[in-house]
């Protein structure tokens, strides 16, 4: 066997008939499979043991040799070699054909490769191959031309006329003769001459032919190898036959297809031996050709061959194609040992790094480890006994199990795995029952809940795998989301409301104004009911300062005014973290405001009488606390804080006794009045419409506006009257569950509903859920509810497919080096849409390297020097200084091949540190864009009325951009820079004419009458700017502007969609994607290079070719950049393995084989397919040879004292042993 990690590239080519025979271990002569009586394979049949190897290990067919010691002996009686049975998975046979046949891939594909080589139409080829016409292979001295088609009748007439003066034939033999006669070099030379003059259709055809002919020339493939004399038979264990109960057999479709080929081939041989009449032989040859076609690609030509029940048989091509094909089912997604799945349940007592594993499950998954441990401890005499002990479930094994799983991390995965947080590592702990326990804070990353979700568990086996799981994949390392660098783990639901409740302030609660020495006193007072959690109290700041809380010298000697609850809440924070007394950034970033400290001698009761109540800590602020702690203290402290916050939240939410009942949904007295007013306004609008004062559209829009205003008024009144201690109000205010619109529907009115056609119905639902809906109202609401459900299902599939295409196009983008040394940068400004801020400058520059120094616009002093990564503080300074534009390093301008460099990428969003070499940023980018796809809307936004076309939004818009489709509601762009000279309406033509006067030429654009103009007379426009409202087509933009502008446009448009839906994604992810769409150029003029005009080429290869040509003194080629959609870009990749596993498998492989393509195995997919370690992360050459060494225990990434003592004792003991040895 070849060691898969030893080779660096993989090549594919056409197989000649001799090559096929050299692979084969023998010829399959009979269509029989196995003998139904003895169940043994038939001789010379499709399962013959002499050809394919023995069916049982180390045993020949007749049973003469039956031991390993006879390895390699070929039995003299039955002719079977004594070897392992698994050779039946690798040994091939072949069928010698009585007549040559063509390979359907090369004849039928688009474009027909055979047709291009022979310069014949596919239709003509079909007539020849399937014996409908003769083709002249040699005209001799007759007027017949080579490659001329003759019908049966014409052929007979010409034969009578010219006798043997010409040669004509039909079928694959004729094709082979023609292919052999093609002089590739001469044809290529002629085509190159022709290219100099040709234009239009003729030129395109010539380029295509030249491309194929040169491919044959350069690859060493012979054109006549597209016709086969022998057919390979794949190993029998890959097309098995199994006995079902009841004595029947189930067989792979391939066996049926092979059987048809063999039957027809044998019949043809017999007919040829008998010298049968030509027409019979011809018919048999045609049938053989059709049988081989069906075997290779059933259904590609004519009606597919069907099996029982009219089901088309699965041919060799089908075995490769699609989700169930070899590539996607077996090569890219394998099932693994040591894995299991089970329902998940909540584990509120777990630590963040832990998961609960049921006893039975752990025993099964860790069986080999258990057997080793039992034998090692002497509890079982050997492995076999240990296995028996485990199977018997002896009582003494459970303690061993506990030790075995300690410190052995496991991976948990929940499908669908939308981003890298869908697989994380945990320390297992044993639990009762049959459900796995998951930490409640890990739910958000997995998008899991406990209503019956299942998860899969995997055990990393090797030391390296365990080390990686612990150091890179532990849940504590996954606190930040890779898409935006914000914490993904934050308290939710009960935890949020508990922490919210504990930080509420109330006036005049029991014990208000009491002053305490330290937090312990506060806790005692609370436990003995002297104070309530919400009571405002005084606390000596010095007691907190002694523990490390950062107070200023002025604050230390004073009394801090806070609440009992906040004092307890602050206990969970790291010791030297600021005391949080209000939910503000100022308090978070290092300083408790002075206003909360009493002046010397000031009466606390007087202070409290005037002080305002401080807002409690809501869900968003808790998230900010986590982000700040992560930034300052990194992983361990954050994980501990999260667990403490979780425990406190659960405890306090239980203690609070918050409940929700119907009485908590209050009535609104002003509602009838507001509704009545709306009815009157609607009636007035209807009256205006009846009088013909307004149009139907205006009436409709006004009615909708009236009802929306009524609903908003009711909502505003509800908010105004809301009692802060109302549990429903607490629930939504804290961010635990629900929002104001839920409350409006409970206590206010439901408002307007959408009709099935997507428009809003004029009839509002006036009732709320507390009053109950009328039958009519209920009926109106049903459509919206159902649409919600179906949309979600459709959206998930769409979003998943988008992620798959994104991953495919960017999977080979990996951080390859530290600095590419580029001298270009990207100018970034805040993204605005009209007056609305889409993405502020702060977000765009955070975690990026500067290209040029950033200077203060007024003083000119340097705020951030060049080539420095901008952190939060710097970004804040830049924004505060009023800088509008910053030039940063960007993936767009990076010079690294097959990837990006650290400096152009900047910060790794998932860790908050600089990205490292080996990070698979392409895949992360794809997941970051695809994962929130399910949150985007599906709808096309109707602009109401007739103004302009509908503009696509949400998920469809993202697809439109990435697939580089012509956008809906396309904007017209100007091709010249200059002034708008005139804007005229032409009612006769129903157009608007806009004239732009540039410096050199003037252009007039004729726009549809309905389009909304963005410009007016006298405006100055740059080329590439839109004249009308709508989406610019990036393919037009790249023709008018440069690559960078197009990339920038794609970036801004994608950000617009996501930010408008409230989803934040870092720019760098979109940059990686946009860059992949612009990796290709189309050759315009080849100069002295050997490139073909009109072909697509990778930009790096293009540059290399030009450099070589220039060095040799030639004229370089010219090309222009091309924007490809992500699907097209994936298929155009340099790796045929990656492309074939993506889409259009047969087309990709056909093309790759003719070109003799070499796959350099640069990306991730191609390495997964051949089973090589992927060239990212620890699989990079840089890390390849590191051997892990055991340093000691590292549970929770915190060493316990006993662990340290043990390791010291062990070291001393080792030293002692060494000393003894030396003595």
Query: Does 443 belong to an annotated binding site?
Result: no
Residue with tokens 């995965």, as numbered in its chain: 413
661 Cβ contact list (under 8 Å, min separation 6): none
The β-bridge partners of 454 are: 343
Largest CA distance in the chain: 131
Structural tokens at position 863? 């705020």
| Cα separation, 1056 vs 246, whole angstroms | 63
Of 1065, 1059, 796, 1135, the residue nearest 925 (C-alpha): 1065
Of 625, 501, 644, 643, the residue nearest 563 (C-alpha): 501
| Cα separation, 422 vs 413, whole angstroms | 6
| Cα separation, 1081 vs 955, whole angstroms | 28
Of 197, 195, 202, 212, the residue nearest 1093 (C-alpha): 195
Spatial contact of 863 and 845, defined as CB atoms under 8 Å apart: no
Query: Does 188 belong to an annotated binding site?
Result: no
Region for 1094 from its dihedrals, namely left if φ exceeds 0, alpha if ψ lies in -120 to 50, beta otherwise: left
Q: Residue 575: is it exposed, middle or buried by C-beta count within 10 angstroms (0-12/13-18/19+)?
A: exposed
Calculate Rg over the CA atoms of the chain.
38
Element spanning 958, H or E: helix 954-962
Of 1169, 1165, 1164, 1166, the residue nearest 1180 (C-alpha): 1164
Residue with tokens 């099935």, as numbered in its chain: 756
| 945: phi then psi, degrees, rounded to nearest 5 | 70, -150
132 Cβ contact list (under 8 Å, min separation 6): 126, 170
Residue with tokens 């069907």, as numbered in its chain: 306
Of 217, 412, 505, 319, the residue nearest 1154 (C-alpha): 217
Query: Does 62 belong to an annotated binding site?
Result: yes
878 Cβ contact list (under 8 Å, min separation 6): 841, 842, 845, 854, 863, 864, 870, 886
* DSSP-derived secondary structure letter, 393: T
SS3 at position 462: coil
Instruction: State how far the alpha carbon of 1015 is from the alpha carbons of 717, 1027, 1040, 1048, in Å.
Output: 42, 6, 19, 22
Of 50, 394, 14, the residue nearest 226 (C-alpha): 14
* Strand locations in 3-130 (E): 10-11, 24-27, 92-102
SS3 at position 860: coil
Of 613, 551, 553, 619, the residue nearest 587 (C-alpha): 551
Spatial contact of 25 and 80, defined as CB atoms under 8 Å apart: no
Region for 974 from its dihedrals, namely left if φ exceeds 0, alpha if ψ lies in -120 to 50, beta otherwise: beta
Query: Does 901 belong to an annotated binding site?
Result: yes
* Strand locations in 604-722 (E): none
The gap between the terminal CA atoms of the chain, to the nearest Å, is 48
Of 731, 744, 565, the residue nearest 658 (C-alpha): 731
Spatial contact of 439 and 407, defined as CB atoms under 8 Å apart: no
| Cα separation, 1077 vs 892, whole angstroms | 11
Peptide bond into 1075 cis (omega under 30): no
Structural tokens at position 1066? 């870092």
Of 433, 500, 426, 438, the residue nearest 469 (C-alpha): 426
Extract the annotated binding site for Zn(2+): 60, 62, 75, 78, 820, 894, 901, 904
Extract the annotated binding site: 60, 62, 75, 78, 449, 451, 453, 820, 894, 901, 904
Extract the annotated binding site for Mg(2+): 449, 451, 453
């Amino acid at each position: 066997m070849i060691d898969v990690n030893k080779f660096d590239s993989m090549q594919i080519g056409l197989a000649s008939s001799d090559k096929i025979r050299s692979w084969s271990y023998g010829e399959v002569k009979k269509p029989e499979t196995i003998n139904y009586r003895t169940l043994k394979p038939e001789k010379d049949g499709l399962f013959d043991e002499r050809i394919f190897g023995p069916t049982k290990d180390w045993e020949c067919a007749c049973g003469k040799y039956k031991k390993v010691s006879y390895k390699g002996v070929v039995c003299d009686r039955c002719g079977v070699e004594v070897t392992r049975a698994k050779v039946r998975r690798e040994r091939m046979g072949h069928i010698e054909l009585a007549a040559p046949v063509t390979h359907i891939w090369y004849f039928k594909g688009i474009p027909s490769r055979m047709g291009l080589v022979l310069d014949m139409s596919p239709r003509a080829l079909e007539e020849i191959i399937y014996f409908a016409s003769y083709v002249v292979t040699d005209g001799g001295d007759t007027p017949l031309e080579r490659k001329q088609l003759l019908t049966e009748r014409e052929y007979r007439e010409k034969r009578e006329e010219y006798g043997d003066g010409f040669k004509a034939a039909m079928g694959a033999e004729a094709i082979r003769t023609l292919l052999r006669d093609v002089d590739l070099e001469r044809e290529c030379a002629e085509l190159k001459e022709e290219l100099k003059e040709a234009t239009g259709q003729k030129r395109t055809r010539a380029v295509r032919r030249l491309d194929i002919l040169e491919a044959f020339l350069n690859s060493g493939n012979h054109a006549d190898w597209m016709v086969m004399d022998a057919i390979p038979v794949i190993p029998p264990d890959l097309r098995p036959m199994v006995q079902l109960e009841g004595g029947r057999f189930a067989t792979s479709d391939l066996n049926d297809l092979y059987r048809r080929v063999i039957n027809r081939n044998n019949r043809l041989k017999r007919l040829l031996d008998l010298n049968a009449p030509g027409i019979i032989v011809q018919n048999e040859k045609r049938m053989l050709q059709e049988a081989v076609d069906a075997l290779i690609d059933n259904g590609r030509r004519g009606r597919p061959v069907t099996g029982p029940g009219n089901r088309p048989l699965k041919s060799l091509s089908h075995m490769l194609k699609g989700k169930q094909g070899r590539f996607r089912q077996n090569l890219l997604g394998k099932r693994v040992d040591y894995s299991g799945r089970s329902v998940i349940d909540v584990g509120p007592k777990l630590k963040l790094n832990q998961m609960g594993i049921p006893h039975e499950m752990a025993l099964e998954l860790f069986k080999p480890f258990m057997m080793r441990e039992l034998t090692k401890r002497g509890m079982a005499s050997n492995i076999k006994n240990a296995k028996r002990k485990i199977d018997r479930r002896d009582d003494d094994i459970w303690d061993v199990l506990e030790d075995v799983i300690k410190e052995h991390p496991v991976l948990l995965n929940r499908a669908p795995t939308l981003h890298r947080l869908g697989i994380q590592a945990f320390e297992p702990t044993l639990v009762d029952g049959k459900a796995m326990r998951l930490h409640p804070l890990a739910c958000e990353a997995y998008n899991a809940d406990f209503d019956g979700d299942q998860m899969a568990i995997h055990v990393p086996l090797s030391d390296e795998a365990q080390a990686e799981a612990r150091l890179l994949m532990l849940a504590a390392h996954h606190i930040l989301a890779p898409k935006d660098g914000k914490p993904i783990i934050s308290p939710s639901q009960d935890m949020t409301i508990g922490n919210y409740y504990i930080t509420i302030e109330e006036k005049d609660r029991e014990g208000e104004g009491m002053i305490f020495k330290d937090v312990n006193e506060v806790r005692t007072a609370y436990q003995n009911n002297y104070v309530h959690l919400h009571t405002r109290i005084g606390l000596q700041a010095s007691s907190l300062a002694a523990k490390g809380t950062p107070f200023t010298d002025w604050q230390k000697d004073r009394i801090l005014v806070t609440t009992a609850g906040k004092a307890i809440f602050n206990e969970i924070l790291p010791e030297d973290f600021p005391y949080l007394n209000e939910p503000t950034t100022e308090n978070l970033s290092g300083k408790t405001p002075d206003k909360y400290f009493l002046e010397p001698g000031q009466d606390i009761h007087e202070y409290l009488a005037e002080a305002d109540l401080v807002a409690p800590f809501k869900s968003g602020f808790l998230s900010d606390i986590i982000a700040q702690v992560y930034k300052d203290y990194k992983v361990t402290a954050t994980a501990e804080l999260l667990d403490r916050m979780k425990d406190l939240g659960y405890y306090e939410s239980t203690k609070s006794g918050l409940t929700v009942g119907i009485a908590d949904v209050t009535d609104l007295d002003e509602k009838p009045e507001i509704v009545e007013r709306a009815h009157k306004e609607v009636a007035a609008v209807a009256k205006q419409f009846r009088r013909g004062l307004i149009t139907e559209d205006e009436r409709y829009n006004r009615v909708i506006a009236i009802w929306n205003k009524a609903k908003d008024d009711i909502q505003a009144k509800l908010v105004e009257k809301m009692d802060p201690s109302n549990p429903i109000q607490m629930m939504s205010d804290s961010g635990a569950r629900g929002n104001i619109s839920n409350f409006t529907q409970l206590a206010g009115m439901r408002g307007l509903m959408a009709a099935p056609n997507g428009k809003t119905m004029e009839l509002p639902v006036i009732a709320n859920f507390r009053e109950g809906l009328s039958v009519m109202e209920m009926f109106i609401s049903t459509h919206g509810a159902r649409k919600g459900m179906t949309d979600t299902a459709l959206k998930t599939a769409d979003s998943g497919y988008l992620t798959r295409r994104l991953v495919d196009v960017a999977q080979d983008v990996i951080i390859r080096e530290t600095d590419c040394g580029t001298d270009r940068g990207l100018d970034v400004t805040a993204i605005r849409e009209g007056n609305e801020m889409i993405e502020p400058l702060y977000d765009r520059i955070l975690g990026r390297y500067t290209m040029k120094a950033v200077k203060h616009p007024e003083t000119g002093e340097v705020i951030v020097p060049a080539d420095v990564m901008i952190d939060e503080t710097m970004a804040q300074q830049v924004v505060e200084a009023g800088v509008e534009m910053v030039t940063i390093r960007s993936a767009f301008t990076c010079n690294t091949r097959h990837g990006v460099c650290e400096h152009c990428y900047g910060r790794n969003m998932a860790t908050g540190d600089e990205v490292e070499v080996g990070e698979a940023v392409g895949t992360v980018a794809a997941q970051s864009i695809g994962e929130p796809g399910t949150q985007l809307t599906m709808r096309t936004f109707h602009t109401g009325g007739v103004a302009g076309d509908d503009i696509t939004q949400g998920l469809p818009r993202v697809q439109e951009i990435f697939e580089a489709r012509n956008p809906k509601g396309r904007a017209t762009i100007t091709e010249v820079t200059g002034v708008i000279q005139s804007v005229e309406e032409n009612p006769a033509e129903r157009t608007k004419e806009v004239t732009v006067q540039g410096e050199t030429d003037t252009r007039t654009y004729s726009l549809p009458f309905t389009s909304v103009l963005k410009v007016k007379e006298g405006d100055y426009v740059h080329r590439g700017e839109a004249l009308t409202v709508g989406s610019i087509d990036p393919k037009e933009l790249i023709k008018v502007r440069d690559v960078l502008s197009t990339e920038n446009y794609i970036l801004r448009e994608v950000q617009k969609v996501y930010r408008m839906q409230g989803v934040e994604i870092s720019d760098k992810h979109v940059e990686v994607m946009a860059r992949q769409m612009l990796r290709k150029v189309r050759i315009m003029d080849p100069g002295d290079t050997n490139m073909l005009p009109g072909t697509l080429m990778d930009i790096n290869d293009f540059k290399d070719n030009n450099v070589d040509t220039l060095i040799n003194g030639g004229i370089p080629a010219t090309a222009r950049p091309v924007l490809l959609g992500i699907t097209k870009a994936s298929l155009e990749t340099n790796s045929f393995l990656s492309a074939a596993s993506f889409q259009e498998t047969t087309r990709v492989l056909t093309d790759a084989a003719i070109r003799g393509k070499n796959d350099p195995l640069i990306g991730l997919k191609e390495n997964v397919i051949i089973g090589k370690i992927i060239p990212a992360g620890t699989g990079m050459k840089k890390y390849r040879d590191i051997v892990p060494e055991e340093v000691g225990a590292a549970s929770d990434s915190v060493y316990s004292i006993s662990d340290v003592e043990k390791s010291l004792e062990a070291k001393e003991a080792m030293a002692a042993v060494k000393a003894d040895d030396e003595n």
